[in-house]
Amino acid sequence: MDLDVLNMFVIAGGTLAIPILAFVASFLLWPSALIRIYYWYWRRALGMQVRYANYDDYQFCYSYRGRPGYRPSILMLHGFSAHKDMWLSIVKFLPKNLHLVCVDMPGHEGTTRSALDDYSISGQAKRIHQFVECINLNKRPFHLVGTSMGGNVAGVYAAQYPEDICSLTLICPAGLPSTTDSKFIKQLRELQESESIDRIPLIPSTPEEMADMLKLCSYVRFKVPQQILQGLVDVRIPHNDFYRKLFLEIVNEKSRHSLHENMSKIRVPTQVIWGRQDQVLDVSGANVLSSAIPDCHVYILENCGHSVVVERPRKTANLILEFLALLHSTDNNKKQA
């Protein structure tokens, strides 16, 4: 073989080997960096852009796609210890002409974290209202979506700022009393009795605890490699002290049943989506909401746990779109009548 041709193959092989070796090294040595790159790539692929908004000296980080149009904008509030990118699995199945906004909740990811801030559910609702005003989202009533802790905040927001929203979707929301204790509530009681409250199941510090948390939150059993589990833990560990403080804030008497205390004030059409096999917040909460909110549509997803957004993203996106289409059709019929 000609020496120049041989050199060309060597150079080409070396060029291909470098990114492959870099990927393998990242996977083995810095899995947390790989996870961040993954979210960055997914945002770009779905057309989501990251922006910041300031209210006095407070900064909100959010992602968005599309512009306000004839259909209501959609604001999405994530759950405890998550971030705006958790909604990407749903965004994938939503039309690109819808105006979508996903915000980091107070103290999470790119949004300001302050020891002086009020992290109660009502305090978070107030902060989200400030964010809404910052980006002029409430020029027209918008559709509000919240899951878990974010669902609690969304429900309280709907009660406290009814003029801002036209409709509401609550996905496995916290803030409700339950006649049936979930697996998570039972675990918390056991930890309180043993005075080991620092070992909160939703705040993992090891790959093994992360695996246990995923099993608790999901009915579907995802096979997650050990390195990815380590990466997920590495991303969270710097924030675990904050998560403990936040958790104790949202389960105390002031916030524990915030949604329940405010649901009688919710006067907009409301959609409730819940996983039948939710082990974090018992599905009986759906009946509590449907009995108290006049125009409430309940959807229980079989073979689904607490992480509805991750386990059933296509179904959840379709349910939201069908609900909005139903409301649009009802409004048109009222106008024609």
Coil, strand or helix: which one is 149? helix
Identified catalytic residue from 63, 148, 167, 182: 148
Number of H-type helices and E-type strands within the chain: 13, 8
Q: Any catalytic annotation for residue 148?
A: yes
What's the DSSP call for residue 105? P
Q: Any catalytic annotation for residue 278?
A: yes
The dihedral built from the CA positions of residue 192, 197, 199 and 200, taken in this order, carries a sign that is positive
Whether 147 and 105 have beta carbons less than 8 Å apart is answered as no
What are the two backbone dihedrals, phi and then psi, of residue 101, each rounded to the nearest 5 degrees?
A: -135, 125
Q: Any catalytic annotation for residue 306?
A: yes
Whether 119 and 106 have beta carbons less than 8 Å apart is answered as yes
The strand pairing partners of 147, in sequence order, are 171
Residue corresponding to tokens 């909005």: 324
Identified catalytic residue from 260, 278, 297, 307: 278
As a whole number of angstroms, the distance between CA 162 and CA 140 comes to 12
As a whole number of angstroms, the distance between CA 180 and CA 85 comes to 31
Cite the active site residues. Answer: 148, 278, 306
